Amino acid sequence: MKVLVYVNPEKEIASKTVKKLANSLEKNLIKYKIVYSETEIDFNEKFDVLFVIGGDGTILRRTEFASKSNLPIIGINCGKLGYLSDEIDLAVNLFMQNKLIEDNRINLSVSYNGKEYIALNDVNIQRTYLDNKGNVINVSFSIDGNKVDTIVGDGIIVATPTGSTAYSLSAGGPILVPGINSLSITPVSAHSLGQRSVVFSAESKCDLILEGSNSAGLFVDGRFICDLKEKDIIRYDGIKNR
């Protein structure tokens, strides 16, 4: 068995936490590798599990790597919402005994310009201010080839059940229970009373198309990916993994 440990070096208590984890792994004779950035990872090296030391954002930023590597994630919270490093020995022991409870979540995999992006929470098209105007944007979306609506406003959010309680909820979107096989589309600051959230099956396909020339950006789990151009398409081809 071999464990990969990713540490967010920006967290003040991360250094103490990773020492505790390393001691616990050594006590259980588990091989491990500690990295502080993805550039340190050899993608040909095989691991059985990924420990992430940091906050919720740190885990989100490791989701794509873990999904593509088929690695379960065990998070050790050193963020603002909690401090669970005192339970490291318990977590390692339960992992060794195969008693940790798996919490499978839908990942949102979208393609743009031939590249795939994976989100645990959400994919967002949002207006930007490159043209110094900051005008509202128009984003049309279709489900299984059928056009549903065109959102006029600040943007649009496609959220997983996990992400339904994050940015989507702040924008007025519905809460989806973790086990449901569905996604939601929620407008951001829509300029019409009739534009509301849409919930659709994760098995369906969905296209988001930027209409008009006003500046907009693509964001995946809050991370800026790129600027978009008129008629650019963000495509979701149905659920691929959890």
Which residues are designated catalytic?
56
Cβ atoms of 234 and 240 within 8 Å: the answer is no
Distance CA 175, CA 170 (A): 11
User: CA neighbours within 13 Å on the CB side: how many for 162?
Assistant: 17
Q: Which residue type, as a one-letter code, is found at position 164? A: S
Secondary structure string (H, E, C) spanning 5-61 = EEECCCCCCHHHHHHHHHHHHHHCCCEEEEECCHHHCCCCCCCCEEEEEECHHHHHH
Are 4 and 31 in contact, with CB atoms under 8 Å apart?
no
Cβ-proximal residues to 48 (8 Å cutoff; 6+ apart), any chain = 1, 2, 3, 71
